[in-house]
Amino acid sequence: MTSTLSPAHPPSAVWAIDLGHEPSRSSIDPVQDWLSLLANSEQIRRASYTRLCRRKSILTVNGRFPGPTIYARKGDVVTVDVHNQGDKNVTIHWRGVDQPRNPWSDGPEFITQCPIQPGASFTYRIVLSWEEGTLWWRAHSDFDRATVHGAIVIRPRRGTSYPFKKPHKEIPIFLREWWKGNVRQLLADALQTGGEFQPSDANTINGQPGDLFPCSRDGTFTLPVEHGKTYMLRLINAALANEFFFGVAGHRLTVVGTDASYVKPFTVDHVFLAPGQTVTALLRADRASRGLRNTRYHMAARPLSTNPLVLFNNSTATAVLEYTDAAAPPSLATPDFPILPAINDCAAADAYTARLRSLASEAHPARIACAPDENCRGPRSNRLAASLNNVSFEAPRHTDILGAYYHHRSAGVVREADFPSNPPLPFNFTADDLPPELRLTARGTRVKVLEYGAVVEVVLQDTAILGAESHPIHLHGYSFYVVGTGSGNFDDGRDPAGYNLVDPPYQNTVAVPKGGWSAIRFRAENPGVWFMHCHFERHMVWGMDTVFIVKDGNGAEEKMMPPPLGMPRC
């Protein structure tokens, strides 16, 4: 993205999107300035892991859980050969990578590609451009990302440096859930009944529930540190359902980045991450200078619940920070425990999010454009669904939208290229009263077509349909500036006056607050087919998604690249 449009530039298109989850009808040429070309090989295969006293087979990459970390530098192009030796179709998404002009390697199943079938292979080409910091890769097929995911660490270009003192060491830390049962069956059961998904049995840090859980003490993730040194924690929320607070007992965290973009540093006792989001934070191992005597300290992740109507796992996952240069034997020290917000403390999450500001420095400027026979178990015997502007997105199952669009066959795939620019019926979105007209949502493969170069503003409005709750909304192919957020109903005559058009955070996922709204802006300068969806996996499955099709521009560097050889076939 090379736009130098200022934050105050008025958008050429503005859409208001209300986010609802409600009953639905049952029937219903290559980059020339590469710094390097890195090659990786990933094998999708099953492996056995034991958690919570029970052993089970899970889908993995190279037998590892979490999967291997990809290390690169800003501007690199990384190729990854994915060999599917598993027992089901799968795709891989490089989350937060814009992939300029290259949607063919973006990865969401049936949106930009057909899945990689068992026994088949596909080479992904990951084009890094402006990104620098912490991102991650994940499966983007069914619920496979529950175990198929890993970190992407993007360091500064050679000859440049971090906008802060280089840390002693960097550590990826994944926050997510664990189910004792088969996650594939969890999805199948929910889709069959039309009801809620079974909550997880534990939350985890780097794949381990921690020493508060049975059969888990020996496997608890431990981070060894030395007094006086600074450590970079690359925090990633890979959860399917949970937002998390994260903190370290006896230590504060200095937040320096989010979603591969630097922020003005600020120091906190805990951070907050919605599913899909990343936070880069510095931790100084300064126990002695702070008068602390222990040698071991708990790191902990506690979920945030914003909808009391939804069942969830409220357990706290733990890991251990251990001073290895301490005089006392670590085995004799009981870890201190951090103080984290309560599981329903939405104000704490909003307060953290409000502190995010782009670095907006000379080196890192803010460049913003402005079936009747089904027995469904959902409410009123209907099927649970989720929607954007009362449209519950339905992905095709026999081809992908990108291939159909590129080969001019989209008429048979995309039912309507007219995703509504506004909710069909204005009402008090955050009140409990639901207009009868919106009690059932329509299914459809409806997309929004954007002209190349259009400046787009999207207002994302939470609704109280089946209970208000926060929504982590992720856009593929773009990061965007979060220019505003607030509580209640968005007021287009009042709220834009309070937008942050100076140093808004640059993110690929925005946590739309419970009972509130968020406004994002981006310039449509990346041609292709790009998915936008809620990162609560159940909401994505229920249809809280849509697709932006960005047309080609006139210049040679404004057109989508042609498809590579070997694209998977459906």
* CA atoms of 513 and 494, how far apart (whole Å): 18
Tens-digit pLDDT profile for residues 461-513: 887 666 667 778 999 999 999 999 998 888 888 999 999 999 999 999 999 88
Q: List the structure tokens of 115.
A: 């899945």
pTM above threshold 0.85: no
Of 160, 183, 198, the position where a domain reaches its end is 160
Highest mean pLDDT among 308-312, 444-448, 559-563: 559-563
The verdict on 341 and 420 lying in the same domain is: no
Q: Is residue 239 part of a domain?
A: yes
Highest mean pLDDT among 161-175, 420-434, 459-473, 528-542: 161-175
State how far the alpha carbon of 168 is from the alpha carbons of 79, 228, 248, 292, 419, in Å: 28, 10, 18, 21, 49
Q: Identify residue 3 by its one-letter amino acid code.
A: S
The verdict on 357 and 238 lying in the same domain is: yes
State how beta strands 70-73 and 149-155 pair. Answer: parallel
Q: 410: domain range?
A: 391-550
Looking at per-residue confidence, does 12 or 308 come out higher? 308
The verdict on 247 and 170 lying in the same domain is: yes
The verdict on 288 and 334 lying in the same domain is: yes
Q: Tell me what the pLDDT averaged over the chain comes to.
A: 82
pLDDT at residue 137 is higher than 70: yes
The verdict on 182 and 104 lying in the same domain is: no
Please list the residues that pair with 190 across neighbouring strands.
none
The verdict on 67 and 112 lying in the same domain is: yes
Q: Is the peptide bond before 172 cis (omega within 30 degrees of 0)?
A: no
Tens-digit pLDDT profile for residues 317-337: 999 999 998 655 555 568 999
Question: How does residue 543 score in pLDDT terms, banded at 50, 70 and 90?
Answer: low
Q: List the structure tokens of 347.
A: 């104000």
497: enclosing H helix or E strand: none
Spatial contact of 444 and 393, defined as CB atoms under 8 Å apart: yes
Question: How does residue 385 score in pLDDT terms, banded at 50, 70 and 90?
Answer: very low
Q: Is residue 13 part of a domain?
A: no
The pLDDT of residue 535: 75
Question: How does residue 393 score in pLDDT terms, banded at 50, 70 and 90?
Answer: very low
Query: How buried is residue 501: exposed, middle or buried, by Cβ count under 10 Å (0-12/13-18/19+)?
Result: middle
Nearest to 295 by CA among 341, 247, 264, 328: 328
pLDDT at residue 442 is higher than 70: no
**How many structural domains are present in the chain?**
3
CATH of residue 460's domain is 2.60.40.420
The verdict on 103 and 195 lying in the same domain is: no
- In the chain, what percentage of residues exceed pLDDT 90? 58
Highest mean pLDDT among 14-28, 102-116, 539-553: 102-116
Q: Is residue 23 part of a domain?
A: no
Residue listed under structure tokens 């926060």: 470
State how far the alpha carbon of 33 is from the alpha carbons of 128, 315, 421, 445, in Å: 11, 48, 38, 37
The pLDDT of residue 99: 97
The verdict on 141 and 74 lying in the same domain is: yes
Contacting residues for 322 by C-beta, under 8 A, at least 6 apart: 222, 223, 224, 225, 295, 296, 297, 330
CA 69 to chain centre: 17
